[in-house]
Amino acid sequence: MRYVDMKHVTPGMRPAKTLFDSMGRVLVASNVVLNESAIQKLWEYGFDGIYIEDALSEDIEIDYMISPALRSEGLSCVREQNIDGCLNIAKKIVEEILDRETLMLDLTDLRSFDDYTYAHSVNVAVLCCVIGVGLEMEESDLTKLVTAALIHDLGKMLISPEILNKPGRLTPEEYEIMKSHADLSYELIRDRYDIPSQVKTAVRFHHENVDGSGYPDGLDASQQTIFIKILHVADVYDALTSKRPYKEPYSPYEACEYLMGGCSIMFDQHVVETFLRFVPLHQKGTMVTLSDGREGIIYENSGFHNLRPILRMLDGSMIDLMASEYLNLTIITSSSNICFSPEEAEKDRENMIHHKRYRIMVVDDMKTNLHMLREILEPIYDVALLKSGAQALLYLQKNEYPDLVLMDIDMPEMDGIETTRRIQEMTNHEVPILFVTALCDKETVLTCRSMNAAGYIVRPYKPVYIKSEIKRILQGYSEVS
Ligand SMILES: [Fe+2]
């Protein structure tokens, strides 16, 4: 079987996997020949792509990490907020995963818009279990961890759908309400004597960052349990790779970049590194283009090096990218996304959320830094580049305030901290400030945090990470989990 983006799904193709809605009802059965109306239905349900059977991929088998029946049982328990059911399902998920021969997360998850929160909880449960196994946890601990994952977002069902699914930026009040979901989930289990305390704390603190900048309590790494750290990584990975009405999904590759970029800020590095061992950056069954122009399908990930899989080429020959004669080849694109340039994808993303074009002011004394940020940001935002604190203040006096300021710290004359103080005073704290700096000593970080900065990014950073951070700030709450 191979994965085909919905844009390339045509009548006559046969799905390799049955496709379900959130109630576990069959939308399209496997092996049924697709017609126009079935394809239309899949579009309406928001599927991003499907697995199909064809000659090229005949012997490529890809298994679900857990059986569709168990997944569907899990979805029901989460939908009905059935805590006893979740405890039971957690055991079954752990048993099924421990029974597997391989833990490679090969299958691109197939899901529709209508089951996001439920599907998310079950996916996070599976991801947590895989990380837990990678960390050699005992079965009883795995069950606790998976239980926490199934329950972690139940509180979201108590939040109004207008806020939960709001496509644009949340107001500060709405954001506060959104943040309350972690406590609301905790409330549902707080008085249950049969639920271990590790589960309760993981549920309550699953949005804590290791640098202490998360919520609800701002716990830092030393105050967090391993359960909290694992749940946070799994939660964000699944949120990033999900398609939502207002955002395209990140590829596993981009999501891994995001996790790596957030190590020691949001995430525990050891947990991220463990997780990455099980995420093939190029998933089995996807078409890719090699640097010599040839196309092939990912046949197998060796599990040893997830950037160098084995491919089957269009002429049927096999290429192992780990073999010495092929080491000069690299995978340059995934063909399922071939009709999309990154700029077009970004434009689409913008159109999907129908918001205005945000304006970003960048303050940095280094020309190279300014240029680099301009290249990353200009396709998406209106960007104003200022070379000093004084110039920034002058700009603000003469122009409409931007939606966000990216601020360097180490600048001659007026440094970024002083400039920020003045900007906050001038704008009455209305404009969020994101520090982008090479400085990461404790004193500077603490000073920035005490100034209520919207974020802090240490150079060198990955473009995908800075874009995500900006999006998170501009949309108030972009962590779509
Ligand atoms: Fe959450």
Q: What is the pLDDT of residue 362?
A: 95
Buried b (16+ CB within 10 A) or exposed e, 413-439: ebbbbebbeebbeeeeeebbbbbbbeb
How far does the centroid of ligand 1 lie from the alpha carbon of residue 286, in Å?
30
- Taking only the tens place, the pLDDT of each residue in 186-229 is 999 999 999 999 999 999 999 999 988 889 999 999 999 999 99
How far does the centroid of ligand 1 lie from the alpha carbon of residue 181, in Å?
7
- Cα distance between residue 212 and residue 1, in whole Å: 44
- The answer to whether position 336 is within a domain reads no
Q: Could you tell me if 14 and 104 lie in one domain?
A: no
How far does the centroid of ligand 1 lie from the alpha carbon of residue 233, in Å?
11
How far does the centroid of ligand 1 lie from the alpha carbon of residue 469, in Å?
17
- The answer to whether position 60 is within a domain reads no
The region of weakest confidence among 13-17, 63-67, 106-110, 412-416 is 106-110
Looking at 276, 299, 326, which one is the last position of a domain? 276
Looking at 238, 261, 276, which one is the last position of a domain? 276
How far does the centroid of ligand 1 lie from the alpha carbon of residue 205, in Å?
9
How far does the centroid of ligand 1 lie from the alpha carbon of residue 343, in Å?
30
How far does the centroid of ligand 1 lie from the alpha carbon of residue 22, in Å?
19
- The answer to whether position 35 is within a domain reads yes
How far does the centroid of ligand 1 lie from the alpha carbon of residue 152, in Å?
6
Contact 241, 207 (CB under 8 A): no
- The answer to whether position 224 is within a domain reads yes
Q: Could you tell me if 229 and 82 lie in one domain?
A: yes
The region of weakest confidence among 13-17, 129-133, 390-394 is 13-17
Looking at 31, 55, 79, which one is the last position of a domain? 55
How far does the centroid of ligand 1 lie from the alpha carbon of residue 96, in Å?
25
- Taking only the tens place, the pLDDT of each residue in 395-423 is 999 888 999 999 999 888 899 999 999 99
Is residue 83 pLDDT above 90, yes or no? yes
Closest CA to 457 of 394, 376, 383: 376
How far does the centroid of ligand 1 lie from the alpha carbon of residue 180, in Å?
9
Q: How confident is the model at residue 462 (pLDDT cuts 50, 70, 90)?
A: confident
Q: How confident is the model at residue 245 (pLDDT cuts 50, 70, 90)?
A: low
Q: Could you tell me if 28 and 125 lie in one domain?
A: no
Mean pLDDT of the chain: 84
Q: Could you tell me if 130 and 223 lie in one domain?
A: yes
- Cα distance between residue 468 and residue 258, in whole Å: 8
Q: What is the pLDDT of residue 420?
A: 94
Is residue 480 pLDDT above 60, yes or no? no
Show Cβ contacts of residue 6 under 8 Å, excluding neighbours closer than 6 positions. 39, 42, 43, 47, 48, 49, 50
How far does the centroid of ligand 1 lie from the alpha carbon of residue 76, in Å?
19
Contact 173, 360 (CB under 8 A): no
Q: Could you tell me if 73 and 13 lie in one domain?
A: no
- The answer to whether position 318 is within a domain reads no
Q: What is the pLDDT of residue 268?
A: 95
How far does the centroid of ligand 1 lie from the alpha carbon of residue 149, in Å?
10
Q: What is the pLDDT of residue 468?
A: 81
Q: What is the pLDDT of residue 208?
A: 94
Q: What is the pLDDT of residue 89?
A: 96
Q: Could you tell me if 29 and 90 lie in one domain?
A: no
- Cα distance between residue 387 and residue 375, in whole Å: 16
How far does the centroid of ligand 1 lie from the alpha carbon of residue 86, in Å?
17
> What is the domain count for the chain?
3
Q: Could you tell me if 251 and 189 lie in one domain?
A: yes
How far does the centroid of ligand 1 lie from the alpha carbon of residue 473, in Å?
17
Q: Could you tell me if 258 and 186 lie in one domain?
A: yes
Q: What is the pLDDT of residue 348?
A: 44
Q: For a pLDDT cut of 70, what percent of the chain falls above it?
A: 89
Q: What is the pLDDT of residue 84?
A: 96
More confident residue, 327 or 120: 120
Q: Could you tell me if 221 and 90 lie in one domain?
A: yes
Domain that residue 374 falls in: 356-474
CATH classification at residue 208: 1.10.3210.10
Q: What is the pLDDT of residue 270?
A: 95
Q: Which residues are placed with Cβ below 5 angstroms of ligand 1, an ion?
A: 153, 481
Q: Give the Cβ contact number of residue 389 at 10 Å.
A: 25
- The answer to whether position 290 is within a domain reads no
Helix (H), strand (E), coil (C) string for the chain:
CEEEEHHHCCCCCEECCCEECCCCCEEECCCCCCCHHHHHHHHHCCCCEEEEECHHHCCCCCCCCCCHHHHHHHHHHHHCCCHHHHHHHHHHHHHHHHCCCCCCCCCCCCCCHHHHHHHHHHHHHHHHHHHHHHCCCCHHHHHHHHHHHHHCCHHHHHCCHHHHCCCCCCCHHHHHHHHCHHHHHHHHHCCCCCCCHHHHHHHHCCCCCCECCCCCCCCEHHHCCHHHHHHHHHHHHHHHCCCECCECCCCHHHHHHHHHHCECCCECHHHHHHHHCCCCCCCCCEEEEECCCCEEEEEECCCCCCCCCEEEECCCCEEECCCHHHCCCCEEEEHHHCCCCHHHHHHHHHHHCCCCCCEEEEECCCHHHHHHHHHHHCCCCEEEEECCHHHHHHHHHHCCCCCEEEECCCCCCCCHHHHHHHHHHHHCCCCCEEEEECCCCHHHHHHHHHCCCCEEEECCCCHHHHHHHHHHHHCCCCCCC
Output the pTM of the full model: 0.69
- The answer to whether position 324 is within a domain reads no
Q: Could you tell me if 180 and 90 lie in one domain?
A: yes
Q: How confident is the model at residue 177 (pLDDT cuts 50, 70, 90)?
A: very high
Query: What tokens appear for 421 in the block?
Result: 């103080």
CATH classification at residue 372: 3.40.50.2300
Contact 333, 289 (CB under 8 A): yes
How far does the centroid of ligand 1 lie from the alpha carbon of residue 479, in Å?
8
Q: How confident is the model at residue 108 (pLDDT cuts 50, 70, 90)?
A: low
Q: Could you tell me if 132 and 258 lie in one domain?
A: yes
CATH classification at residue 8: 3.90.105.10
Q: How confident is the model at residue 107 (pLDDT cuts 50, 70, 90)?
A: low
Q: How confident is the model at residue 389 (pLDDT cuts 50, 70, 90)?
A: very high
Which long-range contacts does 394-397 make (Cβ < 8 Å, 24+ apart)?
Answer: 395/361, 396/361, 396/423, 396/426, 396/427, 397/426
Q: What is the pLDDT of residue 295?
A: 87
How far does the centroid of ligand 1 lie from the alpha carbon of residue 82, in Å?
18
Report the pLDDT averaged over residues 113-131.
84
- Cα distance between residue 47 and residue 38, in whole Å: 12
Q: Could you tell me if 37 and 128 lie in one domain?
A: no
More confident residue, 249 or 406: 406
- Cα distance between residue 161 and residue 141, in whole Å: 34
Q: What is the pLDDT of residue 235?
A: 94
How far does the centroid of ligand 1 lie from the alpha carbon of residue 464, in Å?
22
Q: How confident is the model at residue 337 (pLDDT cuts 50, 70, 90)?
A: very low
- The answer to whether position 347 is within a domain reads no
Q: How confident is the model at residue 121 (pLDDT cuts 50, 70, 90)?
A: very high
Is residue 306 pLDDT above 80, yes or no? no
Is residue 345 pLDDT above 60, yes or no? no
More confident residue, 340 or 277: 277
List Cα–Cα distances, 388 to 360, 364, 393, 439, in angstroms.
15, 6, 9, 17
